[in-house]
Structure 1
Amino acid sequence: MSSRAITRRGAVLALLATGACGFTPALAPGAATFALRDSVSIAAPDTIPGFAIRTRLQERLGRATAPAFVLTINLDQALDVAAFSQAGDALRYNVVGAAGWRLETADGTTVGQGQVEGFTSYSATGSTVATQAAATDAIGRLMVILGDMVVADLMLLDIPQ
């Protein structure tokens, strides 16, 4: 029997085992986190990174039509030189960021809070325009990473129905 067939068989058995233990997807109807779908108003900074993380969170959680929760995001980011040339010029940068978050009900009761951290990198070896485009892209990628991490943290909360 090929290793591919064994791997498929193992995957099928793993799926059957998770179904037997009562596994439910976090955003499935009936799951506790499903209460967040289309019911979270997102308050993020009015900046380009704030817009990027707000957009990502709306992609993952939906747009609130009648918000029952408010998710407040605070962003912090820094730029670190990751590599130097022999002449001392910066060749690569790391964009390091953190997103503090707080989820509250509409009446102001805190449901959960936390902070997530991540980083991305970009090359500074091209033209000035190329380096600036790479920096902007790296910040956008960082906001996607941080947004996904916030959603992962939200899935661990005991959300009131």
Structure 2
Amino acid sequence: MSSNLPSRRFAILGLLALGGCGFAPVYSDSNTLRGAIAFKADETIAGYRLQERLEQRLGRATAPRYTLDVTMTRGSRSAAITDDGDTTRYNVTGIAKWTLTDATGQQVEKGKVDAFTSYSATGSTTATQTAATDATARLSVILADMIVSRLLILSPKLMQ
């Protein structure tokens, strides 16, 4: 009979070593960017949803050290067409270009994220319009989450 006891010991010692090396969870409430960024987005429904999601993830700024300016562009294209030429599914594409500036107005970082989502157009006119609105809202959330991920990767650099 063999034992996995040595491998368990190494695993426990490895976890203890990682705990003492200064690693901190990126998604914790003690994140250094929480409440430190003021957000500016397009004055559209999609821009509002994007800004709302950014504030949910990073907190509303009380004393901002940075400003994040986000510009979104959206598009729509047919994804599924029947033999009769009717479109039954649409893809909603989006690109969000963002710029992070510090309190002096100097650009700290910039980037671009893109994503897509889709919706079905097989129901009534009202159902299709509701599905399109929901797809746009989902796209805004996806883009905001991608921006937050990039900012969290940058956070150690920003706090130097």
Paired residue type of 1:83: A
Match of residue 135 from structure 2: 138
Residue pair 1:71, 1:101 contacting (<8 A) in 2 also:
yes
Q: TM-score if structure 1 supplies the norm length?
A: 0.84
Structure 1 unaligned residues grouped into runs of 5+: 1-8
Structure 2 unaligned residues grouped into runs of 5+: 1-7
Q: How far apart are the structure 2 equivalents of 1:160 and 1:107?
A: 15
**Pairing of 1:83-122 with structure 2 (within 5 A):** 83-122=80-119
Paired residue type of 2:19: G
Q: TM-score if structure 2 supplies the norm length?
A: 0.84
Match of residue 46 from structure 2: 49
Residue pair 1:71, 1:102 contacting (<8 A) in 2 also:
yes
Is residue 59 of structure 2 the alignment partner of residue 62 of structure 1? yes
Q: How far apart are the structure 2 equivalents of 1:111 and 1:87?
A: 52
Could you report, residue by residue, the CA deviation over 1:6-44 in whole angstroms, capped at 9, with x for unpaired residues? xxx8xx86x9275365432125477xxx33211211010
SS at match of 2:35: coil
SS at match of 1:143: helix
Paired residue type of 1:79: S
Q: How far apart are the structure 1 equivalents of 2:18 and 2:88?
A: 47
TM superposition outliers: structure 1 runs of 4+ over 4 Å:
27-30
Q: How far apart are the structure 1 equivalents of 2:78 and 2:57?
A: 32
Q: Over the residues paired in the alignment, what is the CA RMSD in angstroms?
A: 2.1
SS at match of 2:57: helix
